[in-house]
Structure 1
Amino acid sequence: MDEMKKEHQKLHIAVFPWLAFGHFLPFLRLSNHLAQLGHRISFISTPKNLHRLSQIAPNLSSLVTMVPLPLPPVHGLPDSVESTSELPFRLVPYLKRAYDQLQPPLTEFLQNSDVNWLIHDFVPHWLPQVATRLGINSVFFSIFNASVLAFLGSPEEILLRDQQPLEDLTVVPEWIPFPSNVAFRLYEVIYH
Structure 2
Amino acid sequence: MESHENSRKLRVVMFPWLGVSHATPFLHLSNKLAQNGHRVTFLLPRKAQLKLEPLNQHQDLIHFSSITVPEVDDLPSGAETASDVRLLLQRSRFTAFDRTQDQILPLLNDLKPDVIFYDFAHWIPAITRPLNIKAIYYVITGVAGLGLRFTPARRISKGVTIEELMHPPPGYPSSRVVPEEAFQALFLAEELGSGISFYDRITTSLRECDAIATRTYHELDGKYCDYIGEQYGKRVLYTGPVLPQEKGEHLEEEWASWLNKFGPSSVVFCALGSEVKLTREKLQEMLLGFELSGHPFLVALATPQGCDRIEEAFPRGFGERTRERGLVSGDWVPQSLILKHPSVGCFVTHCGYGSMWESLLSDCRILTFPQLADQFMNSRMMADELGVAVEVKKEGERERFLSKESLSEAIKLVMDKDGEVASRLKSNHAKLKDVVAGEGLQESHLRVDGTERASDLFSL
Would you call these one fold, judging by a TM-score over 0.5?
A: yes
Which of the residues 102, 106, 125 maps onto 1:104?
Answer: 102
Residue deviations 1:74-114, cap 9 Å, x none?
Answer: 11211111111122212112111101001111011001123
Q: Does 1:151 align with 2:145?
A: no
Match of 1:69 in 2: 67
- Cα deviation, residue 157, structure 1: 7.0
User: Under a length normalisation based on structure 1, what TM-score does the superposition of the two structures give?
Assistant: 0.82
Asked if the contact 1:172/1:182 (under 8 Å) is kept, the reply is: no
Contact preservation (8 Å) 2:168, 2:177 = no
| 1:24 alignment partner in structure 2 | 23
TM-score, reference length from structure 2: 0.36
2:38 matches 1:13: no
- Any conservation in 2 of the 1:44–1:67 contact (CA below 8 Å)? yes
Q: Residue in 2 aligned with 1:182?
A: 178
Gaps of 5+ in 1: 1-6
Higher Rg of the two aligned structures = 2
Q: Deviations over 1:63-82 (max 9, x none)?
A: 11101010100112111111
- Post-superposition offset of 1:174: 2.9
Is 2:88 the counterpart of 1:90?
A: yes
Whether the aligned pair in 2 keeps the contact of 1:167 and 1:186 (CA below 8 Å) is no
Which string of whole-angstrom CA distances, capped at 9 and with x for unpartnered residues, describes residues 116-150 of structure 1? Answer: 111111x1110012111111011111111221111
Quick one: percent identity of the two aligned structures? 25
CA distance in 2, matches of 1:68, 1:134: 21
**1:110/1:157 Cα in 2 relative to 1: closer, same or farther (>3 Å)?**
farther
- The answer for unaligned runs of 5 or more in structure 2 is 1-5, 188-371, 374-460
The answer on whether the counterparts of 1:41 and 1:65 sit within 8 Å (CA) in structure 2 is yes
Structure-2 separation of matches of 1:15 and 1:148: 23
Higher relative contact order (CA 8 A, sep 6+): 1
CA distance in 1: counterparts of 2:61 and 2:72, whole angstroms: 33
Task: Give the length in aligned residue pairs.
Answer: 181
Q: Quick one: which of 114, 135, 138 aligns to 2:135?
A: 138
**Distance in 2, Cα, partners of 1:16 & 1:88:** 23
Q: Look up the SS of the partner of 1:107 in the other structure.
A: helix
Instruction: Give the 3-state SS of the residue equivalent to 1:174 in structure 2.
Output: coil
The residue number in structure 2 matching 1:171 is: 166
* Structure 1 residues 20 and 165, CA gap change in structure 2 (3 angstroms): farther
